[in-house]
A and B are shown apart, each in its own frame.
Chain A
């Protein structure tokens, strides 16, 4: 396994091996999961195989997180530049891009050419929707980088989940406004995921469009042109999805609608849990304090972190957005989730369970310590929350 070493001026030798180095290849498995269902169906002629991908994600995912536990290992800071320069890690993110295309197209062909039962159609389509939702995660990792190839790959992979505005919305909108009441992508205490989605999905699109509109006006180029970085990705989506309808007929319409919806829903779910209730304080000058590590929820679970490029080490990501996934760190005493994202998604889908589990955890955070004024609360839930948790 690769050993990184550095000898400092005083002769001290620092060395580090990334024990997860080859385990990171699991991130390549993630986009391929729906193909397991298609392959099983192809060879066994048993449609029950189409249910397997969803089970793998949402039964095995939380189970593996519980089984394999957490990882609190960090690379030594002096070796981070070497770790970031190691091209191996970059190649894995590059490779997930074609894999998302392959899976999406194979499943589309399968749905377009087989006469599936309604439940076979639905479970397979939802599964590929979820898998391609995680293409937003690949787009997220790539889109934060400064190299041209990475930002282009981000736009290309975001075309699969039909979420071309993500790159701008997330980097320039969400990171600026995170953990404030004005951020449509930060959930408020007492807000269910279903209510949040209705604020987040249109709000995110609007913010991305406004930011890009402003930039293009400054540059003096037309908004409706190929300079528009929201439209670039959507153009690929249109070619892809109109092409599928032309090739396989109207069966593709429900397929694409369900697929796109669940891809978006994956992001909504991630946004919902990543900053739930957390609030940046307002400074004397009226601006919000800069984003601190305690403004994000984290999960250190090994399995889901390997599938998600360390997305769940979210505090370090928000404090240092250009840091590469392999060097994101764990910190003590930060808001932490009881399970990885797969498990937390399921909990979020049952709002009363979510409130029961997360609200006390939120109130107990050291920087909040029961003080409701330090929480981002849904105005509609305020009365109820103050009655329940107020002094």
Chain B
């Protein structure tokens, strides 16, 4: 599972949701998929950008 993990970046403030780590403060455990985040997910750092605004980091 973790080998497939991706990172998703807020285009506004640079916050990164790393699936391998989840986000402990927000209550998402390691391995929690970005796609599983609630529809109303808003960037935890800036609250300006919504889930659909996030960009997947290039795996390369």
Interface set of A (CB-CB < 8 Å, partner B)? 146, 171-172, 175-176, 215-220, 287, 290-291, 318-322
Contact = CB atoms under 8 A, between A and B. Distances in A.
Contact of A175 (B25, B27, B48, B53): B48
B30 to A, nearest CB: 13
Nearest to B40: A176
B6 to A, nearest CB: 21
Interface of B: 12-13, 25-28, 42, 44-50, 53
Tell me what chain A mostly uses at the interface: helix, strand, loop, or mixed: helix
Contact of B42 (A146, A172, A215): A172
A172 B45 contact: no
B28 A290 contact: no
Contacts of B46: 175, 320-322
Contact of A215 (B27, B47, B48): B27
B42 A176 contact: yes
Given A218-B26, A290-B50, A320-B13, 19 more contacts: A171-B47, A172-B47, A175-B46, A176-B47, A215-B25, A216-B27, A218-B27, A218-B28, A219-B27, A220-B27, A290-B48, A290-B49, A290-B53, A291-B48, A319-B12, A320-B46, A321-B47, A322-B45, A322-B46
Contacts of B42: 172, 176
A293 to B, nearest CB: 12
B51 to A, nearest CB: 11
4 nearest A-B pairs in the assembled complex, by CB-CB distance: A218-B27, A175-B47, A219-B27, A176-B47
B48 A287 contact: no
Nearest to B28: A218
A318 B48 CA distance: 8
Contacts of A318: 48
Contacts of A322: 13, 45-46
Contacts of A217: 27
B26 A319 contact: no
B11 to A, nearest CB: 10
Contacts of A320: 12-13, 46
A321 B48 contact: yes
Contacts of B12: 319-320
28 contacts: A146-B45, A171-B47, A172-B42, A172-B44, A172-B47, A175-B47, A215-B25, A215-B26, A215-B27, A216-B27, A217-B27, A218-B26, A218-B27, A218-B28, A219-B27, A220-B27, A287-B50, A290-B48, A290-B49, A290-B53, A318-B48, A319-B12, A320-B13, A320-B46, A321-B46, A321-B48, A322-B13, A322-B46
Nearest to A216: B27
A216 B53 CA distance: 25
Nearest to A322: B13
A255 B36 CA distance: 50
Contacts of B50: 287, 290
Q: Which of B12, B13, B47, B53 has the most chain A CB within a 10 Å cutoff?
A: B47
A109 to B, nearest CB: 38
Contacts of A218: 26-28
Contacts of B49: 290
Contacts of B27: 215-220
Contacts of B28: 218
B45 A319 contact: no
Contacts of B45: 146, 321-322
A192 B42 CA distance: 31
Q: Which of B25, B27, B50, B53 has the most CB of A within 10 A?
A: B27
A40 B36 CA distance: 61
B13 A321 contact: yes
Nearest to B44: A172
A161 to B, nearest CB: 22
